[in-house]
Structure 1
Amino acid sequence: MAIDPQLMEELKRHRETAAKAGGEDKLAKRAEKGQLSARARLEYFFEDGSFQEFGMHAQHTCHRFGLADKPLPYDGVVCGTGYVNGRPVAAFSQDFTVGGGALGRIHAKKICDLMDYAHDAGIPVIGVNDSGGARIQEGVDSLSGYGQVFFKNVLLSGVVPQIAIIAGPCAGGAAYSPALTDFIIMTKDNANMFICGPDVIKAATGEKAELEQFANASAHASVSGNIHMIAEDDQHAMDLTAELLSFLPNNNIADPPHNLELGIDLAKDIGMNELVPASPKEAFDVHDVIGRLVDDEHFFEIMPDFAKNLVVGFARISGVVVGIVANQPKVKAGTLDIDSSDKGARFIRTCNIYNIPIVTLVDVPGFMPGLAQERGGIIRHGAKMLFAYAAATVPKITLIMRKAYGGAYLAMCSSDMGADLVFAWPTAEIAVMGPEGAVNVLFRREIKEAADPVAKQKELVDHYKGEFASPYQAAANAMITDVIEPSETRSKIALALRSTLNKRDNRPPKKHGNIPL
């Protein structure tokens, strides 16, 4: 018996309504600004034909303030699953053309139902945020909806990867859902994220603040550190998301997408020997080291514009997915400060959640000195690095390139903090402090009474430098696995990664440690 043609026509009308829910005029205006529609964002993201929508026909009819007269197709959020590079992914995309993408009861339920599905299926969740905020007409129901979404964000945290894309307005309480995810990508134009807007700030504090100072992608990427990457436009945001997923497992009990069939290149890289300047005080760009260390020189940097004295990101070394944490001598001499400690600790913990080995490249003169740092809580923030490394149970490989002084030496994953293997270049200097500082402390009177204090200090530094900071002294005390040529770095680390992939690390039973936040 054939299906009644009228029923088929009704289904067709529903689908056509969903395809142009906000109206052609609104869609055209968005296109003029370079924005894709909510549905087009997901169609671009997923492989052709793989998108399976959840809740196309769901919508909440509210009888307050005349909202019942304004139908909200699919309640302003497109939800579903599809495939990205052959892997299943769940995603939702808020539609600003439908009621301003405002969140109400059914809108929130659709997102929560999708997140429940992702949890049970063990697949990543991507959220495209483009919303005017809470649906005021629904009153407390909208607040309840946000609470439910936040709860699901926390429930899924550490279970499946969560990536938020800010592709439009994301204001007030709405900003907290992205903040609870693993990564945030924000488009350069047409997007803002804030708790209080300029008018509220002025009314409450008297301060005059423009959105460009605190709410756009540039401000969040470089000043507040709230986001991880800036995208040029909607398509670029989806491309970055797909590339980020290529380094992450589907869930916390799966292995990252390693390519272990790729052979290990044991050849020396002579060019690595030329990267480090002869003078220990001369800066170099750690990106140059990373480029020679990783496969195809491909390094996916995370938070490249924030706390630039520490570089973090994903790569592969002989096919093994790794998270790289590296001091950047070109910025603040590579010291650890409040922001870089937060950046590093968060990244380390993310790697640990998703079973990603960590490679640490060290050239650190210490923690940043200064009144602002001390008053800002450098002790508490620096302790986050110590906690994150010590708590991490994934393979941890450390390379000491040059300076590794004081507490910062420990905070950059020394053997005492749980590194499985520690390599050092001959240029490495490992000590409580630099030779100059040590000499000044130990020979203060002798230097002071010398006819030429500067020359005397230099003489003592040259004489005792090896005793203060030699990598062989640390190796003699079994704190270093081996002293290696820079040219051997890639092969040594590649071998170390392969040998530690099945690492076992049994810890005492507990809910979780109490990281200093």
Structure 2
Amino acid sequence: MRGKPYETAGNGGVVTDRDVVDRVRALLDEDGKFLPVLGGRGEGVLTGIGTVAGRWVAVWANDPSERAGALTSQGMRKVLRLTDLAVRSGMPIVYLADSSGAALQEGPASLIAVGEVYRALIKASRRVPRLAAVLGGCVGGGVFFAASSDVVVGNLSGGYAFVSGPRAARFFTGEEVDVQELGNIRNSFSAGTVQLVGEDEVSCLRVLRRVLGYLPSTTSEVPPRTGGWSPPSSRPEVPGGEDEPYDVRDVIAALVDEGSFIELDAGHGEAAVVGLSRIAGEVVGVVANQPSERGGLIDSRSAEKMARFVSLCDRFNIPLLTLVDTPGFLPSRSEELSGLPRHGSKLLHAYAVSEVPKVAVILRRAYAGGYVSMCSRGIGADYVMGLPNAIVAVQPPRLAAEIIHRRELERADPSAREELLRRLSEDYERTFRGKEALIANGVVDEVVEPGALRERIVGVMGALVESYRKRLKNRSKFYFIPY
């Protein structure tokens, strides 16, 4: 069914009616079943369960042909029933968003129902994965349903997401702004509200299906393993010069199975790269500093991004591979004012409480709090490797020498000061760089040549994952969800 364009109640924009049944069918297996829950379609929402790659999932989708997909109290009752079924049966929950927000005509009844659903979904996150796709409008209460999901995909050709629309902006602040200025998907991608994007609805649903293949059905299970994987076609290469930029995605591609890496949050916190991958068929979460962005310095946005991803992997029993190459946290007045200590502590907390297998590789340099927070031995790494030329120290050699020997440098003849500083820096560097120093200082378990790194990671991960699976049956914990 295709309807006519209509004006939504909550944001003053115009969208095109899409058939909610077609959307759900496009997500599910072609030959799979769909079982309606509380009647399936009606009250502005379609609810039911179906299969994705043969695995049962719970799906709810706003129906924009009925009151612009408004969140009615009766529609929310259906979502509560579906959520309860998903948690008890161990099914991932998928939300297809295209809603104008709470039903204006219902008043508080709609708001209470939205709150009840939000509470149920957040509690469900401790048990099952939650994914969302912003296919059309996602405003008001609906945007919180999507934004609190584990992975959100945004439709570049028709999706938009915001809390309050143009009419509210004009009413409360006098600001004149249109729907796309407020909530176009590219802005949401940059803000971290959505983690992945698709050019159209079909591509968004394909992305959802692919991501589901990397997640278990519940927090008490491990992710599905695949056979027939292909090793990478390249080997990892890291520049020798400490300040030479490079794209860590090339290193990731050389370590994970060919074509398996799904980068999340690429538009947000660019000083870090995170994503789901496979190594020898096993799902592995990858966390990495990005030296091509400010040398890999960790800022507030990248710290928050990494913390959320580490927490996601811990909840769903996904082992972590952390690739370290950072001078530390970004020294900046604006960063301190933006709450860098608070965001940095989230990263430390996420690693410290995580129980999944954690392997870290020091690619080139790891200084100060950056070293500590990036899955160091002290914060809980199970196994740490380093490349032969890596260094771990409190500060970069030159800066450390300036601080330690400041009085000696002040007394030195100005013409000889630079040469003295160079010599002192080299002495400091020799103490902490290279194979012997890394092992003697207790920061790595072994030093590995780049060409052997993939094979070594496969072996270490295999041993750790096997042990973890044996412990998983008795695992019980509170899950920290850093939204």
The answer, yes or no, to whether TM exceeds 0.5 is: yes
Matching residue within 214, 217, 225 for 1:250: 217
**1:202–1:427 Cα change, 3 Å:** farther
Aligned to 1:37: 19
Aligned residue pairs, count: 471
| Counterpart residue type for residue 114 of structure 2 | Y
| Counterpart residue type for residue 473 of structure 1 | A
**1:298–1:333 Cα change, 3 Å:** same
Matching residue within 423, 429, 432 for 1:459: 423
Aligned to 1:374: 336
| Counterpart residue type for residue 127 of structure 1 | Y
Taking the aligned partners of 1:192 and 1:437, their CA distance within structure 2 comes to: 47
Aligned to 2:379: 417
Aligned to 1:46: 28
Moved more, 231-240 or 195-204: 195-204
How far is the alpha carbon of 1:498 from its aligned partner? 0.5
Matching residue within 203, 222, 234 for 2:201: 234
1:186-225 alignment, distance < 5 Å: 186-222=154-190, 224-225=191-192
Residue 332, structure 1, aligned to residue 294, structure 2: yes
Alignment check: 8 A CA contact 1:124 1:250 kept = yes
Moved more, 133-142 or 233-242: 133-142
SS in 1 for 2:258: helix
SS in 2 for 1:79: strand
Taking the aligned partners of 1:235 and 1:34, their CA distance within structure 2 comes to: 16
Aligned to 2:51: 83
Identical-residue share of aligned pairs (%): 32
SS in 1 for 2:42: helix
**1:92–1:238 Cα change, 3 Å:** same
Matching residue within 272, 285, 288 for 2:235: 272
Alignment check: 8 A CA contact 2:432 2:441 kept = no
Aligned to 2:120: 152
How far is the alpha carbon of 1:332 from its aligned partner? 1.4
**1:376–1:423 Cα change, 3 Å:** same
Aligned to 2:153: 185
Residue 302, structure 1, aligned to residue 264, structure 2: yes
Residue 311, structure 1, aligned to residue 273, structure 2: yes
Aligned to 1:477: 441
SS in 2 for 1:282: coil
Moved more, 318-327 or 168-177: 168-177
Aligned to 1:362: 324
How far is the alpha carbon of 1:205 from its aligned partner? 3.0
Taking the aligned partners of 2:367 and 2:36, their CA distance within structure 1 comes to: 55
Aligned to 1:5: none
| Counterpart residue type for residue 173 of structure 1 | G
How far is the alpha carbon of 1:244 from its aligned partner? 0.4
How far is the alpha carbon of 1:165 from its aligned partner? 1.0
| Counterpart residue type for residue 32 of structure 2 | S
The superposition leaves residues 47-70 of structure 1 with CA deviations (integer Å, 9 ceiling, x where unpaired) of: 124232424747xxxxxxxxxxxx
Alignment check: 8 A CA contact 1:380 1:516 kept = no
How far is the alpha carbon of 1:188 from its aligned partner? 0.8
Alignment check: 8 A CA contact 2:360 2:376 kept = yes
1:3-22 alignment, distance < 5 Å: 20=1
**1:180–1:368 Cα change, 3 Å:** same
Residue 344, structure 1, aligned to residue 306, structure 2: yes
- Alpha-carbon RMSD: 2.6
Alignment check: 8 A CA contact 1:255 1:354 kept = yes
How far is the alpha carbon of 1:472 from its aligned partner? 2.7
| Counterpart residue type for residue 321 of structure 2 | V
Alignment check: 8 A CA contact 2:156 2:199 kept = yes
1:392-411 alignment, distance < 5 Å: 392-411=354-373
**1:24–1:345 Cα change, 3 Å:** closer
How far is the alpha carbon of 1:128 from its aligned partner? 0.5
Instruction: Structure 1: give runs of 5+ residues left out of the alignment.
Output: 1-19, 28-32, 59-72
1:104-123 alignment, distance < 5 Å: 104-123=72-91
**1:489–1:35 Cα change, 3 Å:** farther
The superposition leaves residues 309-355 of structure 1 with CA deviations (integer Å, 9 ceiling, x where unpaired) of: 10000111111110000000001111111000110000000000000
Instruction: Structure 2: give runs of 5+ residues left out of the alignment.
Output: 7-14
SS in 2 for 1:116: helix
Residue 438, structure 1, aligned to residue 405, structure 2: no
SS in 2 for 1:149: helix
Taking the aligned partners of 2:51 and 2:109, their CA distance within structure 1 comes to: 33
Q: Which has the higher helix share?
A: 1
Alignment check: 8 A CA contact 1:276 1:284 kept = yes
How far is the alpha carbon of 1:37 from its aligned partner? 1.9
Report the TM-score when normalising by structure 1.
Answer: 0.85
| Counterpart residue type for residue 107 of structure 1 | G
How far is the alpha carbon of 1:160 from its aligned partner? 0.5
The superposition leaves residues 8-50 of structure 1 with CA deviations (integer Å, 9 ceiling, x where unpaired) of: xxxxxxxxxxxx4xx65469xxxxx897521101111111242
